[in-house]
Amino acid sequence: MDEIKNVKFWIFDLDNTLYPSSTNLFSRIDKLMASFITQHLNVNHEEAIQIKNDYFQKHGTTLNGLIKHHNIDPHHFLEFVHNIDYSFLNKNEKLNKEIKNLPGKKIIFTNGSKKHAKKVVSNLQLDENLFSIFDIVDSDFVPKPERSPYERLIKKYDIIPEQSIFFEDIARNLKPAHDLGMKTGWVINEDNWAKEGHDEDHVHFKIKELDHFLEQCNLLIK
């Protein structure tokens, strides 16, 4: 982990990364995505789920597929699917402490919206002022793992890739970061470990508990 000493840019995915997948928050968003598709494409529930999953796999996000194939208003979609209750998210004292102690810039890089990110951060009681947020609007609705949003992110914040690390729960989203020179941390859980190839060269660190990993980083840097 010696290369961590040089990190000055700490980049975090949001969903299932800054909070555990066991909260099932994203399953609530998933249900609203299916409802949106049912209403706007005039299909039944089963067809909506198939479309949702198919677009996610082929286009990086369901929204990207809906824009390409159905000219859906992305702002309307984002408002609809993020209309959920966030109050069940709990503060992780250790994670908050370790993120606060990290030296350098901290950035949330999400395929979701800024509004969604701010609600998550607020309910986790993370200090919103610690983060810059780069969302799907900033990337012109082009999602990870397309290369262009990573390039936009780097340009916007004057990021030096060789002095950066990106944390993400979807392994394929780490490859562009790796290819651009960043270190990568795959935040794993039982679900994504079973689904994704976990011996890829673009994964530098496999992380079961982000708070403990960041604690190690802070101890190393000191």
Note the pLDDT tens digit of each residue in 43-84. 999 999 999 999 999 999 999 999 999 999 999 999 999 999
- Cα(25)–Cα(37) distance, rounded to whole angstroms? 19
Residue 189 pLDDT more than 90? no
Does residue 96 sit in the same domain as residue 53? no
| Neighbouring C-beta atoms of residue 135, cutoff 10 Å | 21
Domain ends where: 58, 81, 104? 81
pTM score above 0.85: yes
In this structure, of 19-28, 39-48, 112-121, 148-157, the range with the lowest mean pLDDT score is 19-28
* Total of domains in the chain: 2
Q: Which structural domain range is residue 155 located in?
A: 2-19+89-221
What's the Cα-to-Cα distance from 127 to each of 19, 78, 138, 148, rounded to whole Å?
14, 24, 21, 29
Domain ends where: 81, 100, 118? 81
- Mean residue pLDDT of the chain comes to 93
Does residue 123 sit in the same domain as residue 160? yes
Domain ends where: 39, 63, 81? 81
85 burial via Cβ count (<10 Å: 0-12, 13-18, 19+): exposed
Residue 194 pLDDT more than 60? no
Residue 195 pLDDT more than 90? no
Closest CA to 145 of 45, 50, 61: 61
In contact, 117 and 90? CB cutoff 8 Å: no
Does residue 116 sit in the same domain as residue 185? yes
Read off the pLDDT band of 211 (50, 70, 90): very high
Does residue 133 sit in the same domain as residue 186? yes
Residue 38 pLDDT more than 90? yes
**Full DSSP string of the chain:** -GGGGG--EEEE--TTTTS-GGG-HHHHHHHHHHHHHHHHHT--HHHHHHHHHHHHHHHSSHHHHHHHHH---HHHHHHHHT-S--TT----HHHHHHHHH--SEEEEE-SS-HHHHHHHHHHTT--GGGEEEE-TTTTTTPPTTSHHHHHHHHHHHT--GGGEEEEESSGGGGHHHHHTT-EEEEE--HHHHHHS----TT--EEES-HHHHHHHHHHHH-
Output the pLDDT for position 199: 61
Does residue 122 sit in the same domain as residue 167? yes
- Tokens of residue 14, six digits: 């949001």
Length of the chain in terms of residues written: 222
% of the chain exceeding 70 in pLDDT:
95
Question: Which residue bears the tokens 């000055």?
Answer: 8
